[in-house]
Structure 1
Amino acid sequence: MQLTPAATVAAAAVVFSLALILLPSPSEAHNITKILAEFPEFSTFNHFLTTTHLANDINNRETITVCAVDNAGMADLLGKHLSIFALKNVLSLHVLLDYFGAKKLHDITNGTALAATMYQATGSAPGSSGFVNITDLKGGKVGFGAVDNGGIDATFVKSVKEIPYNISVIQISKILPSPDAEAPTPGPSQMNITGIMSAHGCKVFAETLLASPAEQTFDSSVDGGLTIFCPGDAAMKSFLPKFKNLTADGKQSLLEFHGVPIYEPESSLKSNNGPINTLATDGAKKFGLVVQNDGQQVTLKTPVVTARITSTIFDEQPLAIFELDKVLLPRELFKGSLAPTPAPAPAPEPVADAPEPSKKHKSPPAPPAADSPADGPAADQTAADSNGAVRFDGGRFATVCFSLWLIILLL
């Protein structure tokens, strides 16, 4: 059957729409942690991508190449006993800000290429030390070398995973030595946390922290990574009367509730919704927060209050400090602040002259309300969501089925 021009255009439009529906969104394009999890020989490399938070940076970029090193190669690096900050610099040197699949590596123009790396992008690399030389060698080999070290230090082994032209994960034979990347970095303990907060609109919280044992908890946590959610001065001043009514343990717990024992930059908070632990979390009392995004706005939720991040005060590995518009109130300390359940509406008064219903003819029971959450598909969906099951996207499935039916009809 031959289609008319109009039918051909309509069919093409339907096919195009169907393709758009089925394509993954950019945020689902790649996940370096999941990719490497399929290859146990890279488990150490994968672990430190997560520990140094490089995994988040990789996932938030497109057109990128990760030069993975197997567990034996990582053992040589870990034997140098570098700080976590120097280790991040070294691993950042193995993330190229361009796409190099196996074919491109063997087809390098003029036999050599200079690739910028994530280490260069951080601004921490002095001079040209954040670049890597890629050289096409004899015998079909490809060599890699850090510019500040000179020469060829490693060779291409194999392609691990390629998603053109989004991400390429390749294996190289060893870690690229770099004197600049491996150089000692300033210790985070030198940072004056309360001084930073005081100078950027959180003086009241900083002074309150200085008068509490919680300050030591914050200071001792910086080395391993720390994120602080600091209420602004106006919010903290209005809260002080309630704060003074807490016990000594309650005051310490509330202050520690505003700290998270890992480094979470803003990009990480925007991409990782869900519950997080705080410095106040222990085995008996949870003291947890929920991160939830609304577009570019990051909010922190407890059962008692929802606070917004209004600004970034400080963000430099391993410390991030954000200002909030409200004090975070944990349920464990402020159960009484929960909103009361609305009282049921009063029953309508009976009409005095209404005739008494006949005993022989009973009225049929009222059907359940259409929006009742007790049962039905909505309840099943809610139950599935709460149990962590994969949700069935009925709207998307219906759209796909309709598009296929329309194509068949046009043919």
Structure 2
Amino acid sequence: MQPSMAAVVSLLLLVLLVPATTAFNITKILKGHPEFSTFNQYLTETHLANEINHLQTITVLALDNSAMSSLLSKGFPTRVIRNVLSLHVLVDYYGAKKLHQITDGTTTTASLFQSSGDADGDAGYVNITDMHGGKVGFGPANTGDLNSFFVKAVLEKPYNLSIIHISQVLDSAEAEAPTPEPSKVNLTSLLSSKGCKEFSHLLTSTGAQKTFQENIESGLTVFCASDSAVKAFMPKFKNLTAGNKTAVLLYHGVPVYSSMSMLKSSNGLMNTLATEGPNKYDFTIQNDDESVTIKTKVVTAKITGTLVDEDPLAVYKLDKVLLPRELFKPSATPEPASSPEAEAPGPDAADGPASDEDDDVADSTSHKKKNNAAGLINGGGILALGLTLCYCVLAAL
């Protein structure tokens, strides 16, 4: 019997739209597994749950309540527990079948601890070894020890989410190392020591560092231009009024913590420390695979490195100084943009200096809330494909 046209169309749309939904909520998933209640609690308290939910491909090495009790008995502050648990979040998919089919029997994969910028060398990587006979071992790659073992698969959603129960906490001295309290972090000293000395100097000389420092405890993301980028920008900076100099610097801070994984999974406008009343002073976050850029109406800067990524503070290095449209005129030759919103020209500032696009200053280092436009774009592509296939089917009928 020939299927009806309506049935065919419905089936095609269902098949096409279901794969587009890859979002998940790790907290809700683990609520159905009381043996992981403490682990689930600390994923929320350390804000790792939010990062996990933003990722498209991930493996969570879940610790049962007994293993978590062993970890908590050490009396670590929450920020250290975050580092330890972030080592148990792998940025790749490993289901039970894949664990037992590892090429050459062993592999090394990155964790969220590695991407945080707090892991030295290969301390943020996890070694996975198929020991055969159904046994799979896990351990920090820098130690060579396999101190935890595969117990069972809790949930698998190939190839986006895998939750695996492992026997005990991965033993890592680097993850357990003490970290300073956020309120005690000296931001300008941190910037100076990690390749943003010139930017740090400008914060101090203008007094803008006070605003940055006051926002750390409640959540702060800083985008610091590299030393070479600041030096190239200084002729323009010197021509600004004192108030506008401060505004440019505050434009490099966002009053909310955004991890690298959050930046990589979202696109959209972000307010800054300079945003006040009618003065928008916002910019657009855009990502393309592993590359994250910040686009104003005047300049596009690329994130070239992570200096700090530990809630509530994240600091990223840029290859250019961010130029707000409120103070600088758009370039005569605008850069290619990936969205109509990004292509729209901004208003010229009446009293601000004109700006040509800054020359690319490559840096040797290579490593208020956002709307996830990426999902909308991907969904639009899938819908277009679906409509095309529907048309073909209807034509055939």
Same fold, TM exceeding 0.5? yes
The equivalent residue for 1:212 is: 206
Query: What is the CA-CA distance between 1:269 and the residue it aligns to?
Result: 3.5
> What is the rounded CA distance, in whole Å, between the counterparts of 2:394 and 2:240 in structure 1?
63
The equivalent residue for 2:62 is: 68
Tell me if 1:163 matches 2:158.
Answer: yes
Larger radius of gyration: 1
Residues 281 and 287, structure 1, Cα contact 8 Å, conserved in 2: yes
Which of these residues, 240, 243, 246, is aligned with residue 241 of structure 2?
Answer: 243
Question: 1:160-199 maps to which residues of 2 (within 5 A)?
Answer: 160-164=155-159, 167-172=161-166, 174-184=168-178, 189=186, 192-193=189-190, 195=192
> What is the rounded CA distance, in whole Å, between the counterparts of 2:171 and 2:72 in structure 1?
12
Which of these residues, 264, 286, 293, is aligned with residue 286 of structure 2?
Answer: 293
The equivalent residue for 2:387 is: 398
> What is the rounded CA distance, in whole Å, between the counterparts of 2:169 and 2:389 in structure 1?
47
Letter in 1 for 2:25: K
SS at match of 2:299: strand
Change over 3 Å in CA distance of 1:405–1:255 after alignment to 2: same
Q: Cα deviation per residue 1:147-169 (whole Å; 9 max; x = unaligned)?
A: 649575465244212314x5422
The equivalent residue for 2:30 is: 39
Letter in 2 for 1:243: T
Using the aligned pairs only, state the percent identity. Answer: 24
> What is the rounded CA distance, in whole Å, between the counterparts of 2:147 and 2:348 in structure 1?
65
SS at match of 1:176: coil
Query: What is the CA-CA distance between 1:128 and the residue it aligns to?
Result: 11
Which of these residues, 51, 55, 58, is aligned with residue 52 of structure 2?
Answer: 55
Which of these residues, 111, 126, 139, is aligned with residue 146 of structure 1?
Answer: 139
The equivalent residue for 1:382 is: none
Residues 67 and 169, structure 1, Cα contact 8 Å, conserved in 2: yes
The equivalent residue for 1:22 is: 16
Residues 97 and 115, structure 1, Cα contact 8 Å, conserved in 2: no
Q: Which moved more, 1:291-300 or 1:175-184?
A: 291-300
Question: 1:324-339 maps to which residues of 2 (within 5 A)?
Answer: 324-328=320-324, 338-339=347-348
Letter in 2 for 1:309: A
Letter in 2 for 1:298: T
> What is the rounded CA distance, in whole Å, between the counterparts of 2:177 and 2:193 in structure 1?
26
Backbone CA RMSD of aligned residues: 5.2
5+ residue gaps, structure 2: 2-11, 32-36, 328-345, 350-372
> What is the rounded CA distance, in whole Å, between the counterparts of 2:267 and 2:87 in structure 1?
29
> What is the rounded CA distance, in whole Å, between the counterparts of 1:213 and 1:151 in structure 2?
50
Letter in 2 for 1:39: L
The equivalent residue for 1:373 is: none
Q: Cα deviation per residue 1:192-224 (whole Å; 9 max; x = unaligned)?
A: 355368x66x84x54432123321333465686
Of structures 1 and 2, the one with the larger relative CO (CA 8 A, separation 6+) is 2
SS at match of 1:183: coil
Letter in 2 for 1:403: C
Which of these residues, 257, 267, 274, is aligned with residue 268 of structure 2?
Answer: 274
Q: Cα deviation per residue 1:371-396 (whole Å; 9 max; x = unaligned)?
A: xxxxxxxxxxxxxx9xx9x9988744
Query: What is the CA-CA distance between 1:274 and the residue it aligns to?
Result: 1.6
The count of corresponding residues between Structure 1 and Structure 2 is 315
Q: Cα deviation per residue 1:31-56 (whole Å; 9 max; x = unaligned)?
A: 5x535544334643543675498638
Residues 194 and 207, structure 1, Cα contact 8 Å, conserved in 2: no
Letter in 2 for 1:124: D
The equivalent residue for 2:318 is: 322
Change over 3 Å in CA distance of 1:320–1:113 after alignment to 2: same
Residues 293 and 303, structure 2, Cα contact 8 Å, conserved in 1: no
SS at match of 1:399: helix
